[in-house]
Chain A
Amino acid sequence: MHIQPILAALRRHKAGTILIALQIALTLAIVCNSLFIIHQRLSHMDEASGVDEANLFVIQNMWGEQYSTQQAAGRIQEDVATLRQLPSVQDVTATNQYPLKGGGWDNFVTMTPDQRTATTDASYFLGDARFLSTLGVKLIAGRDFRPDEVQNLGLRQNVTPPVAIVSKALADKLFPHGDALGKSFYAMSSAPITVIGIVDVLHRADVSSWSASYTGESMVVPLRLAVPSGVCYIVRAKPGQLADAMREAPKALYAENRMRMIDPKDGLLSFAEIRHRAFERDRGMAVLMGIICAVLLAITAAGIVGLTSFWVGQRRRQIGVRRALGATHGDILSYFMTENLLISLAGVAIGVLLTFGLNLWLVTRFTLSVLPLTYVLGGIVILLLLGQGAVFAPALRASRVPPIEATRPA
């Protein structure tokens, strides 16, 4: 294939050539960055919670009366006992929050009591001796809490438990040599906390971008939240009985004590719903970016089809002449395909610059991360294929122009 005549012809169609190249360049920039955002959001949505999501649900319980710490602790024990008696329920634990809740309680963690700069930040779960087993969190080192270790945490009390179970991510951050077990740290108080157990994965309660640099860093302390404002019950249903358990649990609680509130909208949530809500924004962004990418590629393809068809129409006579002089169908077809390839190559060359420019701007403006090269390469391949695909139909039509066209007036 001779490139020289194609370039010479393109010089006579400067405007159209520039427009297609520009469109390809812009499309590449937008598609690459969108795909990258989609990928980031999707991988955020895929983060493991570490708990047995299929069988868990959460009841956010609020009391209708003002209880003292002792009364509240008693009420919680009654509620937990009531829930455990249900035939569809395997186990129950009372806590302050759960993974993927959004927001929640977290504490800065330091290695010494008077350190001003925190070493890291950990999501702060209050749990009893059945917290790990109810959630289905895997203990990989050390031991679980003993029932006698669990203390009550009343309203505005500042209790620092002497021990904690930490997630592996937190253990590795605090003690990079892998010897966290038995070591101590400080969580916003002057009394040390000793690591007695390490769990594999326990996702933080918070899912916002603020938590991005503390991914998976969480700790469980042996405390029972005994405050009048209420508590959160995490219930593990027997396998396959989640729906039954979710129906029976609130009824049983109200039957036991009517002076309580379980919000009809947010009070009773299966873990599937919790995950769904936690990543609503991320899913939304991914969907929007996906739609924009798909439509953008379709429009770019349509634009190439439109302009190439016009060129083919304009050059019918020249094509006829070439055919009359011995060019085959294949020659004509490959002429238009090569022409498009050259324009597309110029387009992606400008596009790569635009892509990195746009990414740089998003990085500084919205603290996105830097685009990996694979996305750009992938985008280039997609656009080159798109161009070739779009040009194929008009090029095929061009190749079917009969040699007799040469004799007809334009």
Chain B
Amino acid sequence: MSELLFMLVDDAVFAGIAAFGFALLFNVPRQALLACVLFAASAHAVRSLLLHANVPIEWASFIAATLLGLATVPWSRKVVIPRPVVTVAAVIPMIPGVYAYKTMTGLMTLHHQGYSLALQQQVVENGLLTLFILTGLSFGLAIAPVLVYRNKPIV
């Protein structure tokens, strides 16, 4: 139990720092930085917890992003900052970058070394994983405006 807790805290801290770097890269305003880090840390921890409970990664990403999206609504109204400003930087640690690169390198090797079933399998598996995780993340973020606030602006 305490091992799991330690794992989650470790996970949250490092995901938070990772989101902070990208928030600076996206020039997120100063007053939103702390919120961005906290949202990113808790979302990533939620996803790790779900992964630990053997939830498939795309569903775990979807649930984490949904919670993140809903949690940013009251915050965004309070400080009058549109949601994408923090949500995108906050989901960056969950973006399947390694899978995307593996898909592309797989494609290139497929061309370079000729066709093989193992390579094709690698390309398709990684590509689908990238696609579904990304879709899950974006759908999750869109839940709040699409289902709850249909056509009304949040801020």
B partners with A: no
List residues of B whose CB falls within 8 A of some A CB: none
B-contacting residues of A (Cβ < 8 Å)? Answer: none
